[in-house]
Structures are given as structure tokens and as C-alpha cells.
């Protein structure tokens, strides 16, 4: 019975995933956009411990400060950039993508414009949806996080990080767009480098921020579709022409 129950649960998960893919393709196929269904993952970095059990939920929701660069002794080595885990890995920037794919099983999608379909938005915070986006000869890390910055008020934070240096990141502009029920919300900014801390970007609010009610306006049966487009910065195009 236990074996049958586990197999039946796996079949239901597969049917649910295929249904999500079908809905996404039906909605976005007319636009010719590539759709990636992203399932949520509870971040182990913010898992409550015995010491944190006596804290209020507001205290647990505060993002811890980043100390990545303090632990890096070799300036050519960078720490793991995956925001889900407190990973001790260090390596050269050129092999960060391989580490994220092989160790943390983060998928990568190619294309100038894609749709990031995050499922199960109702799950409690903290929860992350993460994927890598490859285009224009570079790799980007898209992070969507559900986090309580204030007690009882979860919010959604979405940001794009370039797997490269801050100087390289200045060459690009990314756009996140929500579009549903005759409503459109757009966020456009320069991506930050993964050498900076994702947690700091979210804490500063330098990203797309949605409260729960706003996220529900754009969600469909618990899934949130975010259109992603990355372009080369116009300022740098003009400099190149000169």
C-alpha cells in the first residue's frame, strides 16, 4: 500500500505539471514566447532553528546580512550564488553556472524573451522560485521570493542577476512584465551582478515588489506568469557606435 501510494502521488504530480505546461502554452503560444514552469522550493537558508523558535515571525522574516565577501580570501574566487542554500562552495566566475546546474539542479532556459511561470504561490514564506536565463551570450539568474518583511504581511520580490561582473551587468537592461485581465505591470532596471548579494537586493527593495493582493490580481489558479526580456543597454550601444 505504501508503494502504491507513493507511485500514485508521483503520477498526480506529473499530471499536475503537464497541466501547468498546457495552460502556459495555451496562454502564451500566440506570442511565440518560450514558457518555463518553475516549482517552488523552501529555502534551507532561512529554515527556523531551535534558537529561532522563540523569535517572533517578524524577526525570522528579516533577511540576514551577507558575509560572502568576508569569507573569500582569493580575490579570483567567488562564493556560491544560489540563494536557497548556505553553500560553502567557492570557485571561479566561469564555473558558477556549472555549479548551479550540477549541484543545485537549477534549470536554464535560452531565448531573448521567455515566460517564467511560478506555481503554488499560496505556499507560506519563505519560498523561492529560481531559474537561469541564457541570452545575448551571458547567463542570468532570476529569483522570485516570497518573504515576510513585516509580521503577517508576505510580499513577492523578483530580481535578475547577471552571472558576471558589475561592469558587465551595466551593459544590459532587463524587463519583468505581468499582464492579465486587462492589467499590466512592468519593472525595468539594470541587472545586478551575482558578486553582490541577492538578499541585500531584496532587502533594499531594488527589484519588482508585489504585495499579496497585487500578486493575486495577476495570478491564475495559484500560478504567476512573469514575462522576461533582456536587452543591451542603449547607453552602451551609443558608446560603441561612437
In a domain, 17, yes or no: no
In a domain, 8, yes or no: no
pLDDT in tens, 41-96: 876 665 544 333 333 333 344 444 454 444 444 567 888 888 887 888 999 888 99
> Based on the structure, what is the number of domains in the chain?
1
In a domain, 110, yes or no: yes
| pLDDT surpassing 90 at residue 152 | no
pTM of the model: 0.74
In a domain, 13, yes or no: no
SS3 55: coil
In a domain, 223, yes or no: yes
In a domain, 184, yes or no: yes
Higher pLDDT pick, 54 / 227: 227
SS3 145: strand
In CATH, what number is assigned to the domain containing residue 80?
Answer: 2.60.210.10
In a domain, 164, yes or no: yes
Residues 30 and 46: their CA atoms lie apart, in Å, by 39
- Domain extent for 203: 32-38+71-232
Q: Which residues contact 109 (CB under 8 A, 6 or more apart)?
A: 34, 36, 131, 132, 133, 134
In a domain, 96, yes or no: yes
Amino acid at each position: 500500500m505504501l508503494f502504491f501510494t507513493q507511485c500514485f502521488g508521483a503520477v498526480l504530480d506529473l499530471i499536475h505539471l503537464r497541466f501547468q505546461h498546457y495552460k502556459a502554452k495555451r496562454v502564451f503560444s500566440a506570442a511565440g514566447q518560450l514558457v518555463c514552469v518553475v516549482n517552488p522550493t523552501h529555502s534551507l537558508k532561512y529554515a527556523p532553528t531551535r534558537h529561532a523558535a522563540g523569535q517572533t515571525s517578524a524577526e525570522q522574516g528579516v533577511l540576514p546580512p551577507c558575509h560572502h565577501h568576508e569569507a573569500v580570501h582569493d580575490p579570483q574566487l567567488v562564493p556560491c550564488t544560489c540563494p536557497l542554500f548556505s553553500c560553502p562552495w567557492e570557485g571561479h566566475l566561469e564555473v558558477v553556472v556549472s555549479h548551479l546546474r550540477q549541484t543545485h539542479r537549477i534549470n536554464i532556459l535560452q531565448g531573448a524573451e521567455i515566460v517564467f511561470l511560478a506555481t503554488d504561490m499560496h505556499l507560506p514564506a519563505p519560498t523561492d522560485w529560481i531559474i537561469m536565463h541564457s541570452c545575448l551570450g551571458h547567463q542570468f539568474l532570476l529569483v522570485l521570493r516570497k518573504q515576510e518583511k513585516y509580521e503577517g504581511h508576505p510580499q513577492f520580490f523578483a530580481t535578475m542577476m547577471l552571472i558576471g561582473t558589475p561592469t558587465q551587468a551595466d551593459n544590459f537592461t532587463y524587463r519583468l512584465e505581468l499582464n492579465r485581465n486587462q492589467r499590466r505591470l512592468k519593472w525595468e532596471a539594470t541587472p545586478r551582478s551575482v558578486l553582490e548579494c541577492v538578499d541585500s537586493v531584496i532587502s533594499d527593495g531594488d527589484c519588482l515588489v508585489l504585495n499579496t493582493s497585487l500578486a493575486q490580481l495577476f495570478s491564475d489558479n495559484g500560478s504567476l506568469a512573469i514575462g522576461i526580456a533582456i536587452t543591451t543597454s542603449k547607453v552602451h550601444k551609443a558608446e560603441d557606435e561612437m
